[in-house]
Amino acid sequence: MTHAALFDMDGTLVDTEARSRAAWTLLFEAHGVPYDESLLLTFSGRRGQEVLGEHLHLFPGGTVEELYAEAVSYYSSPALPPIAPVPGAVELVRLLHSEGVRMAVVSSGRRRDIEPTLHQLAMHDMFELIVAAEDVRHGKPHPEGYLSASRRLDVPPSQAVVFEDSPAGVTAAKAAGARCIGVATSQPPQALLHADYTVTDLTEVSWPLMFPA
């Protein structure tokens, strides 16, 4: 039986992956760094600082702190796509809330970005807690965020379902011992093969959940 639902934020609840990719694109272009789809995908579902650390050799003389601050500054650019919920997200969250399912957001983003977005979409009061990037030592694909949420909700991971749109997030969920629904909004379905099953968006999720045997 499922007693808790743990949601990733960007690309799962909120269609912000396009904004994130646009911000990283602006960073690469500002520094004359060649980029392609595979490079942009390395940022999906992970903490930006950690990924920048892996790519720091592309920015001679730069520091992770400076580059991350610059990337964040691009989020105020009017050229970025607007924030919108993933189709079916608001309806699913309201349904689970009405059914008494305990819910948390487990995100690689910062709390100061997560909370205003949830308020904007009128979903903030439906989540008991948020586990943000600054709340964990290890970001996805490490399971720390999902283990922390399960512990704080007092629900074993085996009785929780995770909704994730990135391979790193799916890996984190499965490593935590939870079942996982892959949401193929930012990745092709084949990139989420380790999820228990995959949907195109959250309109395809019904409750109670029925997992393949």
Catalytic residue from among 10, 15, 165, 201: 10
Question: Torsion angle of alpha carbons 68, 83, 37, 24, nearest 10°?
Answer: -20
b/e for 8-24, b at 16 or more Cβ within 10 A?
Answer: bbbbbbbbbbbbbbbbb
Rounded Cα–Cα distance for residues 208 and 65 (Å): 44
Q: Running DSSP on this structure, what letter comes out for residue 62?
A: -
Work out whether the CA dihedral 70, 28, 139, 113 comes out positive or negative: positive
CA 178 to chain centre: 16
Strands 129-131, 102-106: pairing kind: parallel
Q: Which residues contact 37 (CB under 8 A, 6 or more apart)?
A: none
Amino acid identity of residue 91, one-letter, is: E
196 is catalytic: no
8 is catalytic: yes
Catalytic residue from among 8, 15, 165, 201: 8
- Collapsing DSSP states into helix, strand and coil, what is residue 11? coil
Q: Running DSSP on this structure, what letter comes out for residue 9?
A: S
Supply the residues annotated as catalytic. 8, 10
